[in-house]
């Protein structure tokens, strides 16, 4: 894979980032050995960008990532890896709550450093905007962490354009991690244009619509206990039947392009000029190679037009939020 520049952060990374949300427990039970194998397979295939979060099992995903990357993360090979994590979600009974207060951001950053076993986090992101904390206070806390060398670059996740602009008055927002896939395109309206205008790097999560665009889900699919998708309207009627019809049509386009449906979905996300990176997570090492190959899929004007026509009929459904889970 050719590496890409992640906006004004200047980070040079693989266009496929391995995401570890699925390793924190909210997608059902995690096979530890399989998870470590998937991470190591991603590295073997040239992925050098890994995204995690404090709230993915509150240290569970970060520790798994550290174990899988081993000596390369803690030794001389450290500079060959870009590690992104997120903070700003506090565990509470029954779920989490947003907390971007200076004290909690610092405590979260320090917890992530310990779990990852590193001295510096390459990209530290606010997981969700916190309406209870002024962005100027959060920005000042992030600036202090950066000045102390605990973090190198500052990003946000799930922020809109206005929130990024406000935070940037205190500290420059260098990256955005938004939900973006063929069933979730709201960021095309203002967030992605703002990023393009301000040279903010974009690493999009959920390019496979949380499994819907793998083609492996149908009306009989039952999610295991603990999997957040069991409660999501995206995977329930009335949205599901219409979305599955869209998936079948997109699979036909993929056949004509000469790739798989998941590769088409990832390629479509990367085809947007405002997006540099697609985050793909898997607990199955066999799926990683296919995701990496998606970075080499090229869409022509006819394919783009067909996809746009099909996607215009998609039945939208809200994605996850921290009040229901930790994404």
Which residues are known to be catalytic? 56
Cβ atoms 171, 126 nearer than 8 A: no
Q: How many CB atoms sit inside 10 A of residue 60's CB?
A: 19
Separation CA 170–CA 144 (nearest Å): 11
Angle between helix 301-311 and 239-257 (nearest 10): 170
Q: 206 phi and psi, to 5 degrees?
A: 70, 30
**What CA–CA distances, in Å, run from 174 to 48, 105, 156, 286?**
19, 18, 8, 33
Q: Which residues contact residue 290 at a Cβ distance below 8 angstroms, ignoring those fewer than 6 apart? A: 260, 262, 263
3-class DSSP assignment, residue 36: helix
């Amino acid at each position: 894979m050719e590496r890409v520049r992640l906006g004004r952060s200047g980070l040079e990374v693989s266009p496929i980032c391995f995401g570890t949300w699925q390793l924190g427990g909210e997608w059902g039970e995690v096979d530890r050995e399989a998870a470590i194998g998937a991470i190591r397979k991603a590295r073997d295939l040239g992925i050098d960008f890994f995204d995690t979060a404090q709230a993915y099992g509150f240290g569970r995903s970060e520790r798994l990532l550290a174990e899988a990357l081993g000596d390369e993360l803690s030794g001389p090979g450290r500079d060959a890896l870009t590690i992104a994590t997120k903070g700003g979600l506090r565990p509470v009974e029954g779920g989490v709550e947003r907390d971007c207060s200076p004290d909690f951001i610092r405590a979260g950053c320090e917890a992530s450093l310990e779990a990852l076993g590193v001295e510096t986090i390459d990209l530290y992101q606010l997981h969700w905007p916190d309406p209870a904390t002024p962005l100027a206070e959060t920005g000042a806390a992030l600036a202090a962490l950066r000045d102390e060398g605990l973090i190198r670059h500052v990003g946000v996740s799930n922020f809109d354009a206005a929130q990024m602009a406000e935070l940037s008055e205190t500290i420059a927002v260098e990256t955005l991690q938004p939900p973006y896939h063929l069933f979730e395109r709201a960021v095309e309206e203002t967030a992605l244009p703002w990023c393009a205008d301000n040279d903010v790097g974009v690493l999009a999560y959920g390019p496979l619509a949380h499994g819907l665009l793998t083609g492996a889900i149908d009306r009989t699919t039952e999610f295991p206990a603990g999997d957040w998708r069991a409660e999501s309207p995206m995977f329930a009627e009335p949205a599901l039947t219409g979305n599955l019809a869209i998936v079948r049509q997109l699979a036909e386009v993929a056949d004509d392009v000469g790739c798989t449906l998941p590769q088409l979905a990832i390629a479509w996300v990367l085809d947007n000029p405002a997006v540099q990176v697609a985050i793909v997570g898997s607990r199955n090492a066999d799926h990683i190679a296919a995701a990496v190959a998606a970075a080499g899929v090229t869409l022509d004007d006819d394919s783009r037009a067909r996809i746009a026509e099909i996607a215009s009929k998609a039945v939208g459904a809200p994605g996850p939020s921290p009040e229901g889970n930790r994404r």
